Amino acid sequence: MLLVVVVVFAMRGSLVAGPDGRPRILVIYDNPVYPWLPEYACLKDVLSGLGEVDYFWGSIVRNFVDQMGAGRFVEGRGYRLIVVLHFSKGYAREMGELLEVGLKKGCSFLFLVQSEDCNVVLRDIELFYSYAEPVCNVCTGLIADHEALVGVWCVGVREWCVCGYYSVYREGCFGVVSANESWWGERYALVVLGRVYKGRVAAIAPYIFAEDVYDNRVLLENVVRWLLGLEVRRAISPYYPLKSLESERARLLNETECLRREVECLRNECEYWRRLIEELRANYSEVLEKIPDYRVLKERVLELERLLNETRSELNATLSEKELLEERVAVLEAEARYPYRILGLAVAVALLAGFYVGYVVGKRRGGGSGGE
């Protein structure tokens, strides 16, 4: 409470507009997204050139809204544009109230969020941010015909990447810059513009706003001008001032010298590795012998070879014993067959002798009975 009172009284001298009637702009940020990060350098430059900018933590804005109310905060400070970089989900209620009341009082909002957590507030205006697989060094020319996009022919990134898009479901809000289908399979909205209640809304996907290439800066400045109700710059002449021949010559010479040093460094590294490879090729056996792991591995290989030879000798001996056993079995089988043959012959002779004796005895008995 004390912090809010101190901040309010410290700022009462500039409640409606900045010096020279410049519009007042509020930038809301929170951990881990800060306005001094490199991706917001171009944004800060554009905002400072168009109005008086206040940078507030989300917790400070929440306290203002709690103590003063969103309406008194917006009107009392005279904000015409509120830029949202990030806020904690714990401030969703206050941020939602600020969004609704601000739009109803004619304040505009620019969303440059990087997290889907911000959808807890964006959904109030039927706008949703989605994270996507980053695509780098890409550009798109799928740009709608809109008053805020005059002079914008191509936007994209070179050193940064594009890693998100917006889905729009509210009437009066439209995707005016679309991604190429080759990025994520569909033409998702990268830039959204629209009117909600009495205010205007814009959203730009990361990190198109981070890099001053293509027509990114023209896009960012024209969108901010459109949100503030200022005249959008027409693309009558080249947007960027022409560079002097001497400065370009000096820059190219400097880049050439840097490249020459880099090439020389790479050449020296190549020469070093070439000599090292030749040395290894010439003395690879000596070098290998000096490596402890190689010596251990070599001893292990020799030990395994010795064990293999012993196993092979034992296997050969086992095979020889097997052959001897097979020969002995064959001899024993031959020896065992002879007694069986004799036994069979004896049984046959015994059967014949028995048959003959029986025949003789029977015949004699038959002869004796006939004589009597």
Task: Please state the separation of Cα 121 from the chain's center in Å.
Answer: 27
Please report which helix (H) or strand (E) contains residue 216, including its range. Answer: helix 216-228
Q: How far is CA 76 from CA 14, 138, 200, 312, 324, in A?
A: 9, 43, 19, 98, 114
DSSP string, 52-119: EEEEEEHHHHHHHHHHH-HHHHHHHHTEEEEEE----GGGHHHHHHHHHHHHHTT-EEEE----GGGH
Residue segments in the chain with a per-residue pLDDT below the cut of 50: 1-17, 236-241
R_g over Cα of the chain: 49
Cα 262 to Cα 256: distance, rounded to the nearest angstrom? 10
- Return the half-sphere exposure (C-beta side, CA atoms, 13 A cut-off) of residue 335: 6
Q: What is the pLDDT of residue 33?
A: 83
- Whether residue 22 contacts residue 50, with contact meaning beta carbons closer than 8 Å, is answered with yes
pTM of model > 0.85: no
Report the candidate in 142, 103, 147 with the shortest Cα–Cα distance to residue 122.
Answer: 103
Q: What is the dihedral of CA 34, 37, 41, 47, to 10 degrees?
A: 0
- Return the half-sphere exposure (C-beta side, CA atoms, 13 A cut-off) of residue 228: 26
- Return the half-sphere exposure (C-beta side, CA atoms, 13 A cut-off) of residue 23: 19
Buried b (16+ CB within 10 A) or exposed e, 51-68: bbbbbbbbbbbbbbbbeb
Cα 333 to Cα 212: distance, rounded to the nearest angstrom? 102
Give CA angle at 235 (245, 142), nearest 5°. 110
Q: What is the pLDDT of residue 369?
A: 57
Cα 164 to Cα 143: distance, rounded to the nearest angstrom? 17
Q: What is the pLDDT of residue 4?
A: 45
- Whether residue 116 contacts residue 174, with contact meaning beta carbons closer than 8 Å, is answered with no
Task: Please state the separation of Cα 44 from the chain's center in Å.
Answer: 29
Q: What is the pLDDT of residue 14?
A: 38
Q: What is the pLDDT of residue 239?
A: 46
- Return the half-sphere exposure (C-beta side, CA atoms, 13 A cut-off) of residue 250: 5
Q: What is the pLDDT of residue 132?
A: 92
Report the candidate in 39, 11, 38 with the shortest Cα–Cα distance to residue 26.
Answer: 11
Q: What is the pLDDT of residue 13?
A: 38
- Whether residue 39 contacts residue 206, with contact meaning beta carbons closer than 8 Å, is answered with yes
Q: What is the pLDDT of residue 204?
A: 94
Q: For residue 30, what are the β-bridge partners?
A: 33
Residues, the chain, total? 372
Q: What is the pLDDT of residue 354?
A: 84
